[in-house]
Amino acid sequence: MAYENLKKQDKQIYAAITGEIKRQQEGMELIASENYVSRAVLEALGSVFTNKYSEGYPGKRYYGGQDFTDVVETLAIERAKKIFGAEHVNVQPHSGAPANMIAYNAVLQPGDTVLGMDLSHGGHLTHGHPLTLSAHIYNFIGYKTNQAGEIDYKQLEKLAIEHKPKLILAGFSAYTRKLDYKKFQAIAKKVGAISMFDIAHIAGLIAGKAIENPVPYFDIVTTTTHKTLRGPRGGMIMCKQQFAKAIDKSAFPGFQGGPHMNNIAAKAVAFGEALKPAFKTYAKQVIKNAKVLETELRKRGFEIKFGGTDYHMVLVDVFGSKGITGKQAEHALDEAGITVNKNMIPDDPRSPMDPSGIRIGVQAVTSRGMKEKEIKLIAGWIEEIVLAHDDKKVLAQIKKEVTTFCKKYPIYPAV
Ligand code: DSN
C-alpha cells in the first residue's frame, strides 16, 4: 500500500501505520472480534466521502450535494436487505454500542425493563452492564447460562414472566452456542415484549449461510460490520417495518449527527463481497476451523466453556485447566506473537481485569487462508506458550516461528 503523501507530510503517523501493517502481517490475530478487510473496502474508507455532510436519509437530506451519498447509502441498504432478508435497514450507526443505544432509544422509555444476557455468561457490555449509559437509563435484568453451559430458557421465561420486560435481548460477545430463535421468540411473545438480537459476532456466519438467519424471527437486529462480516468498523440496525420510522428517527436526529459516508461506502463494498459465493466458503471454513480448535485444545487438556462452539470462537478456562490466569495467558501469547483477549467465564471467581479465561476466534486467520492443518499448529503453539508462560526464551523462540509462519499468509501482499 502506498502512503507517499503521508510519508512526506507526517512521519510519525506514517511510522505508526506502517508499524501496524507489519504487526498485522507478522502476528497471529486470534481476537474474536477482528478481521482483515479487502483492499477495496480500504479504498472506499479512505475516499472523499469523508468530506461530506449528509444528515437525513437518501432523498431526504438537510444539506445539498447529495447525488453520490444517496447512491452509496441506497446500495448499502439494498445489499444488506438482500443478505439478511430484512424489511428495513439503517446503515448509519457508527458502531455496535451506538447501534444498540439507538435501538433502545427507539422503543423504550427511561425506566423500562430489559432482559439481557449477563456479561460474564457471554453477553455484552451494552446489554446492561452497570457501567454503561444504557444501564443508567433502563432497568436491565440479566439472564444466565445453565450448568451445561447453554442459555437457560427456563430461567429466561421465569424472569420474563416476573419482570414483564418491554424488550428481551439476545446476543453475545463470548457465548458460543446456537440460539433457539423460536424458543426465544415464543418467550418474548408470551410476555408481550419486543425481541432484539445483537448479531455483531456472528453476522458474517449468517451472511455466508453457515448458520440460520435470525433476522426473520426478531423485531430488531443490531450488528457491527467489522467482525465475521469482514467490513469496515461500523454498525447497522435491521428491523420489521413497524419499527422502521422509530429506528430511523432515533439514529438521526435522536442519537447521531451526520453519517460517516466514507464508512457507509465501505459497508456497501463489504456487503457486495458478502453476497459473493466465495463468502459462503469462507463462513463455512470459519466454523470448521473453530471446531478443530475446540477439539485440539480439549485434547491438550484445556476446558472449553459452554460445552463447545457452534460459531467462530471458543472461550477457554485457562485458570481452571492450567493454573494460569487469563491476563497471564494473554501476555504470554502476546509475547509469542499470538493475540487473544482475556475474558470472564460464567460465574468467574476472578476479576474482569484478571479473569479465568481467554477468548480465541479464528475468523481473521481464516481470512488469511488458514485451514484445519494450520489451526492444529496454532493449538500446539497455544499449549506450548501457556506451559512456558514464564520462560522469555521459549516465548521469543515461538515468536520467531509464528512470524515466519504468518508471513506465508500475507494479509496485504507487497506492502
Ligand atoms: N469489543 C468487541 C468484542 O470483542 O466482542 C465487542 O464489544
DSSP states of 226-268: SSTT---S-EEEEE-GGGHHHHHHIIIIII-SS--HHHHHHHH
**Percent helix, strand and coil across the chain, each to the nearest 5:** 50, 15, 35
- Tell me what the pLDDT averaged over the chain comes to: 96
**Phi, psi of 140, rounded to the nearest 5 degrees:** -90, 135
Percent of all residues in the chain with a pLDDT value above 90, rounded to a whole number = 94
Q: Which atom of ligand 1 is nearest to the CA of 341?
A: 4
- Catalytic residue, from 166, 233, 305, 359: name it: 233
- Catalytic residue, from 26, 34, 55, 180: name it: 55
Calculate how far, in angstroms, residue 224's C-alpha sits from the geometric centre of ligand 1.
9
- Model confidence over 171-219: pLDDT tens digits? 999 999 999 999 999 999 999 999 999 999 999 999 999 999 999 999 9
Burial class (CB in 10 A: 0-12, 13-18, 19+), 235: buried
Q: Hey, whose CA ends up nearest to atom 5 of ligand 1?
A: 173
Say if residue 415's pLDDT is above 50: no
Per-residue pLDDT at 147: 86
- Catalytic residue, from 79, 227, 240, 305: name it: 227
- Catalytic residue, from 29, 73, 118, 198: name it: 198
CB under 8 Å to 45, separation ≥6 — which residues?
A: 37, 232, 262, 263, 265, 266
Per-residue pLDDT at 413: 59
Annotated active-site residue 224? The verdict is: yes
Say if residue 414's pLDDT is above 70: no
Looking at the whole model, is its pTM more than 0.85?
yes
Q: Which atom of ligand 1 is nearest to the CA of 174?
A: 5
Calculate how far, in angstroms, residue 316's C-alpha sits from the geometric centre of ligand 1.
17
Calculate how far, in angstroms, residue 60's C-alpha sits from the geometric centre of ligand 1.
33
Q: Hey, whose CA ends up nearest to atom 4 of ligand 1?
A: 33
Q: Which atom of ligand 1 is nearest to the CA of 173?
A: 5
- Model confidence over 298-325: pLDDT tens digits? 999 999 999 999 999 999 999 999 999 9
148: helix, coil or strand? Answer: coil
In the structure, what pLDDT confidence band is assigned to residue 122 with cuts at 50, 70 and 90?
confident
Which grid cell is 381?
503453539
Cβ(132) – ligand 1 distance below 6 Å = no
Cβ(228) – ligand 1 distance below 6 Å = no
- What value, to the nearest 5°, has the Cα angle with vertex 57 and ends 52 and 59? 95
**Best probe residue, ligand 1, of 131, 172, 173 (max atoms within 8 Å of C-beta):** 173
Annotated active-site residue 53? The verdict is: yes
**Best probe residue, ligand 1, of 100, 101, 201, 314 (max atoms within 8 Å of C-beta):** 201
Annotated active-site residue 317? The verdict is: no
What domains can you pick out in the chain, each with its CATH number?
A: 43-274 (3.40.640.10), 284-406 (3.90.1150.10)
- Catalytic residue, from 3, 14, 53, 217: name it: 53
Annotated active-site residue 73? The verdict is: no
Pairing of strands 338-339, 113-117: unpaired
In the structure, what pLDDT confidence band is assigned to residue 412 with cuts at 50, 70 and 90?
confident
Per-residue pLDDT at 339: 98
In angstroms, the Cα distances linking 337 to 32, 99, 283, 386, 394 are 16, 33, 25, 13, 12
Q: Alpha helices of 27-132 — where are they, by DSSP H?
A: 39-45, 67-84, 96-107
d(CA 36, CA 70): 27
